[in-house]
Amino acid sequence: MMNYVWLALVVIAVVSAAFTGNIEKITTSVFDSAQTAVTIALGLIGIMSLWLGIMKIAEKAGLIQLLARAVKPLSKFLFPDVPSDHPAVGAMMLNISANWLGLGNAATPFGIKAMEELQTLNPQKDTATNAMIMFLGLNTASITLVPMTIIGVRAGLHSANPVDIIGPTIFSSFLATITAILVTKLFINIESGFRPDTIRKFFLKGILFILVLGTVIFLVSRFVKAETFKNIVLLVSNWLIPLLLLVIPVLAFIKKVKVFEVFVTGAKEGFQVAVKIIPYLVALLVAIGMFRASGAMDFLVFIISPVTDLIGMPAEVLPAALMRPLSANGTLGIITELMNTHGPDSFIGRFSSTIYGCTETTFYVIAVYFGAVQVKKTRFAVPVGLIADLAGIVAALFICRILFL
């Protein structure tokens, strides 16, 4: 799938640039994007070395296996092909938890470690497994409790209530996550032999799960103020990293683990992984940079806008929605400009802010995680991520129209 996506981005970019006269911009973008890819990869070395070292200590102390056993019911549902006590389960749960709390710096190393552990169970090393795709789906559609980046931008633009997008973001990202799970299960079921009864039972369970968790979210939003909820999550976020750095080595030391030596062994992997993902990042970011510089995005907006008009989606927000799976910084720039023009507390400002909080840079996540384990055949990982992004955007439109219009 990524072969077709990458080639399509490059071909469309060159053809569009030929018609729009942006060939020079494409050339500049190619070199800038390649340099950015290397900068991103090298910037990950320190963070990844730190957390892979801590993960190695936790693994030696048996803490990862303990976490895996604690979440056994959930892991068996999401990852039936992965043994419930496998280290991959614990690493995946740490990654998902870090994403929920907005700890991106910690989430990426945990996620890469999880992919490395999943790769040990992979009989075809160049092909993504069902568990890998489910895990990528949960990353690209991760539930977001407090979207701090966009809240910070809104505060900087003097929003009267920068945190009023927390509720819509949780709602939208929750539905995006459920969509990622359901679509992944659907694709797996279709590949293994279409069984309507299995799909029907699964979707009934999914609807029940949505109703139960949706009720919980409603009750929390009804009785807990947004500012209070934000402070609670921030408190947990601020304390989580120091506690992990304290508790894991201390418990490991009590269990006779040579914590410093084990940490260094794990940290060495950080450099190796960062180098591995450079070619994947270069390929992806160059293609995306060409697409952006060519003017193809404007043409894509023109094609899709009749559909978005039918569902009440402002045309001004469409470029941000289309950019989100490709580039976080590009999307943030578009949304910041929208809030400057229309106001952070306008419907467009709130809706675009919610989109940023409830969706993810799908292609970046796929490139980094699959690149770390040298998986080239991603199967249906790209459709899962994009469908989850679409679900998040539609859910954001739905809830924002109810709350802010």
What would the pLDDT profile of 3-13 be if each residue is shown by its tens digit?
A: 888 898 899 99
3 state SS of 127: strand
What's the confidence (pLDDT) of residue 104?
64
pTM, full prediction:
0.81
pLDDT category at 344 given cuts 50, 70, 90 is: very high
- Tens of pLDDT, residue by residue over 41-70, are 887 788 878 888 888 898 888 887 787 777
| Structure token digits, residue 359 | 């969706």
Cα distance between residue 76 and residue 42, in whole Å? 36
Cα distance between residue 109 and residue 89, in whole Å? 14
Q: Is the pLDDT of residue 328 over 80?
A: yes
pLDDT category at 144 given cuts 50, 70, 90 is: confident
Phi and psi at residue 377, to the nearest 5°: -95, 100
For residue 313, give the amino acid letter. M
- Please report how the helices 259-294 and 226-254 are oriented relative to each other, as an axis angle in degrees rounded to 10: 140
Asked if residues 180 and 138 have their Cβ atoms less than 8 Å apart, the reply is: yes
| Structure token digits, residue 249 | 């080595």
Handedness of CA 19, 22, 24, 28 (dihedral sign): negative
What's the confidence (pLDDT) of residue 333?
86
Helical ranges in 121-255 per DSSP H? 130-140, 148-156, 166-191, 196-223, 226-254
Q: What is the mean pLDDT of the chain?
A: 85
Among 294, 306, 277, 241, residue whose Cα is nearest residue 94: 241
| Structure token digits, residue 205 | 């369970």
pLDDT category at 288 given cuts 50, 70, 90 is: confident
Cα distance between residue 268 and residue 266, in whole Å? 5
| Structure token digits, residue 363 | 């292609």
Average pLDDT of the residues in 277-286: 87
- Tens of pLDDT, residue by residue over 171-184, are 889 889 988 998 99
| Structure token digits, residue 395 | 């859910």
Average pLDDT of the residues in 105-126: 89
